Amino acid sequence: MNIFRFWKKKSKDVPYEKELLVNVCHKLYDRFPFLYEQLEAGIVHNIKIDDDKRKIQFDIDVLSKYENKKGRYFAIENIEIYDSQGNVTLMYIHVGYGIIISYGFDNPIFNNECISNVNVQNIRIVYFDDDEQINKLLTKQELARINPTDFYELELEGFGIIYHLIDVSDGDFIGIDKNKNIYLVTHDPYEIRKLNGSLIEILEDYQI
């Protein structure tokens, strides 16, 4: 696969990142096929560096083909990029109207040995227009106990989609599914346990 055929104009500033972005979107294909497809079609004209954030400059003809006026605005976060020493850098991608708008890193330390060492199993999806979803799942009283920025979508292995509500301790959190069932999710050991009672009662039990 010739990575650089995906770009109309080459940039000398981020050569490894171009290949990295393609590889990441390829790994995300099962869930977000349109991201890889638009890269393959040549939507990226150039990449503008803005500190740790990269802004996409579009090819207008390709943009008009893939732009979805009803598409949601969201971030794909917690994409793990590893180097040969096992050090991890976290990457995010911002998507709006079906288009890759920008991407960035918490610590851009890339070289060519990082490019294919990508893990997307622990991603989380944060919707910036998710008032409708959170209002469907929570009452006004429950909303008063939750920070809206803590509400985001996760896909958990062996479970499916769950919405993060609030951290409990050391990576453990309370979440809710689309049927309003409430769960405690722990990471060591990994367990998803259904909780009984209302969210208010559960938060009080955990002294939150």
Do 74 and 149 lie in one domain? The reply is no
Task: Verify that 47 and 137 share a domain, yes or no.
Answer: no
Domain match, 120 and 65 both: yes
In a shared domain, residues 9 and 108? yes
Give residue 30's domain range: 3-127
Contact 153, 76 (CB under 8 A): no
Instruction: Indicate the length of the chain as a whole number.
Output: 208
pLDDT in tens, the chain (208 residues): 444 444 444 444 566 778 889 999 999 999 999 999 999 999 888 888 776 788 888 887 788 788 887 777 899 999 999 877 788 889 999 998 898 989 998 876 555 656 668 999 999 998 876 677 788 899 988 988 887 777 878 777 778 888 889 888 877 889 999 999 999 998 778 889 999 999 999 988 887 6
- Given 70, 95, 127, the domain boundary residue is 127
18 with 55, same domain: the answer is yes
Choose the final residue of a domain: 127, 149, 176: 127
Number of H helices, E strands in the chain: 6, 12
76: β partners = 93, 125
Q: Which of 85, 108, 127 is the last residue of a domain?
A: 127
Query: pTM for the complete prediction?
Result: 0.64
